[in-house]
A and B are shown apart, each in its own frame.
Chain A
Amino acid sequence: MIEANSLTKRYGARAAVQDVSFSCAPGTVTGFLGPNGAGKSTTLKMLCGLAHPTSGGSTLLGRPFAEIPNPGRHVGVLIDASAAHGGRRGRETLALSAQLLGVPESRVDEMLDLVGLDKSAARKRVGEYSLGMRQRLGIAHALLGDPELLILDEPANGLDPEGMRWMRGLLRDFASRGGTVLLSSHLLYEVEAIADRLVIIADGRIVAEGTRDELVGKEAMTRVRSADDHALRSALRSFAIDVTTADDGALLAEATAEQVGDVALSAGVALRELGPSRSGGLERLFFDLTQGSGDEVHAPTDPRAALGIADTDTDALQETVR
C-alpha cells in the first residue's frame, strides 16, 4: 500500500509538487507519468523520506517511511541508478546493503543472478558499468530485502529492448505475487505497457488518474490508411469525426473501426489498413494534459517525439520498443 496525501513541496515561491494525492494497491503496477521536471522524482523522494514535504504526508504499508523500523525489508527503492559509488565493486555494493538489512549474503548472488549480472560484471567497479548495468544493479538492490513495495524512478532508462522486456516481466511477476509497484517515466509507451493504472502529473499537479480504459473512456480511436487519405479525411470530418495524422502518415480517427469503414465505403475510398489504435487516445490525452508544462529549456519542437510516442499501435511497439 502506498498512499500520498496532499504532498506539497515548495522551493521559495515555486511549487515543485502541489497537493499530490494518490494510492497504489497491492497486486498492481502504477505508472507515474509526466514530462521531465513535472515533479515525479520529488514526489517519489518525499514518499521515501529523502525530501521533506512542505505540507502533506504519505504512508507506505500504513506508516510514514521514517517510522518503518527496517524499511529495506519492505520497500525496494531505486531513485537513480547512477547514484552508486563508482569505486565500489558491483557485488560489494549489494553485500554492504545486505549486511545492513540483515539478509544472508547468498541473497546477493541470487539477486545478481536474477538481474543477469554475471560473475565478471559483479567483480567490476560500478564506475565501469554502463547505464543499463547500473539499472540492473539498482533493481537487484531494490529487491534485496524481499520487499512488498517497489518504488522505481525511471527504471527503464538506459535499458535496451531486451532489458525492457525483462523488466516488464519482472515487475508483472512481482505484482502478481501481491506486490505493489510504483514506477515513474516520462515516456508513455514505457509505462502503458506495464502499468495497470496511470497517475499523470504535470507542473507538479496530478492531472489524471485511473486505468487506461477509465482515462480514455469508451472513446474509440481507429488507425486507418487508404488509397486517398485526403478524401477520407474530408469524409470523416463531414460526419463530425475528429481526425489527426500519426507520425507515419496514417490517420487517427475518433470513431470505431466499423464507423470508419462505413464512412470510407460511402466516400468510395479504398482502405489499405484499418484497426483500433490502442495508444492513440491515451497519447492524445497525455499530450493534452501535459502540454505546455515541464522542462521548458528542453522544450522540443515536436512534443510527440519528445514524449517518445512513435505513432504505431502499441502492440507493435511492445515488441520493438525502439
Chain B
Amino acid sequence: MSAIAIPTIPAGERRPGFARLVQVELRKMVDTRSGFWLPIGVAAITLITVIITSLVHGGHEATLAHVFANSTFPSAFLLPVLGILLVCGEWTQRTTLTTFTLVPDRGRVLAAKVASSVLFSVAAFAFCLACSAVFAELVGNAPGGAGSISLAVLGQGLLFLIGSMLIGVAFGAAILISAPGIVLYLLLPTIWNALTAAIHALATLANWLALDNSFDRLPRGTLSGSEWAHTGTSLALWLALPLAIGWWRFRTRDVN
C-alpha cells in the first residue's frame, strides 16, 4: 500500500464559474416534465390573452400599451410558481443531495437561481412584447393605429415580471417545500388584503404594503413618485423579507 501515492487537490483548481451555474439552473428549469410544460403553458395563455385583448374591445382600446399591459399578467401569475419550484423542487425531490455535493457554497447556488430567474423573466418579457406588437398591429384595429409604448412603461413591465418571479424564488427559499410554498404565496397577499380591509388601523398600510395594488399597476402606465414609494415598500415586504429569510435557510439547513 505504500506504493500508492496520496492524492491531493491541485493547487490552482477553480470552482465552476458563476455563468456555468446559471446555465445549469436555466437547464434545470426546463428539463423536467413539469418544467417543460409550465413555460409552454405560460406562453399559450399569454398568446390567448393577447389575441382576446386585441379582438374583444372592438378596436377601441387595443393599443399596444393596453395589449402589452394585459399580456404580462399570465406570466406575473405563473412565473412565481416556476420560481418556487426552482428552489423548492430541489428540496422536495431531494436533488439538494447532489447539487450541494457538487457546489458546496449554497449561496452561489441560490444566487444562480436568482440570476437564471431574472434571465427567464427577461425572455418572458420579450415574448409578451413581441406577441403584443404583432397582434395589436394585425388584429387590434384601434382607430389611431396600435400606437407606441413609452420606455418607462416597458421598463416597469420588465420590473413587474422580474419582481414577480423573484418573489416566487424568495418564497420558495424561505419555505423550501413546494406545495406549502405555492399555497402561502397565493394566500398570504390575500390574507393581508383581508386584514387591512377589516382592521381600520391597518388600512393606511394597505397602500404601502399590499402587493396587488402597488405592483399590478407597474405595466399599466408611468408611476408617480408616491406610487413608486408604495411599490418600493411593497417589494421590500414581499420580496426582500422572504429572500433574506430564504438566504439564511437555504444556506444553513441540513439536507435530509
Contact = CB atoms under 8 A, between A and B. Distances in A.
Contacts of A83: 93-95, 97-98
A229 B33 CA distance: 63
A27 B5 CA distance: 9
A109 interface: no
Contacts of A1: 6-7
Interface string B15-53: 110001101100110011111000000000000000000
A52 B252 contact: yes
B100 interface: yes
Contacts, number: 113
12 contacts: A26-B4, A50-B101, A52-B254, A71-B104, A79-B97, A83-B94, A83-B95, A84-B94, A87-B33, A99-B20, A99-B27, A100-B21
B20 to A, nearest CB: 7
Interface stretch (A62-70, A246-254, A258-266, A276-284): A62-70
Contacts of A100: 16, 20-21, 24, 102-103
A96 B93 contact: no
B83 interface: no
Nearest to B101: A77
B184 to A, nearest CB: 23
Interface of A: 1, 25-28, 45, 48-52, 61-63, 65-66, 68-75, 77, 79-80, 82-89, 92, 96-97, 99-102, 125, 141, 148, 178
Contacts of B252: 52
A304 to B, nearest CB: 30
B9 interface: yes
Nearest to B105: A66
A72 B9 contact: no
B123 to A, nearest CB: 20
Given A48-B101, A70-B16, A100-B102, A178 B5 contact: yes
B204 interface: no
A142 B4 CA distance: 22
Chain B CB count within 10 A is highest, among A73, A85, A125, for: A85
B1 interface: yes
Interface size class of B (residues with CB under 8 A): 35 or more
B255 interface: yes
Contact of B4 (A27, A62, A84): A27
A185 B5 CA distance: 28
Given A27-B4, A96-B24, A99-B27, A88 B32 contact: yes
Contact of B9 (A26, A63, A86): A63
Nearest to A9: B254
A83 B93 CA distance: 6
Contact of B102 (A63, A84, A87, A101): A101
A72 B8 contact: no
B200 interface: no
Chain A CB count within 10 A is highest, among B5, B21, B101, for: B101
B4 A97 contact: no
A80 B100 CA distance: 13
Given A48-B100, A80-B94, A100-B24, 6 more contacts: A49-B100, A49-B101, A88-B31, A99-B24, A101-B102, A102-B16
A48 B104 CA distance: 8
A71 B102 contact: yes
B150 to A, nearest CB: 40
A141 B98 contact: yes
Nearest to A147: B7
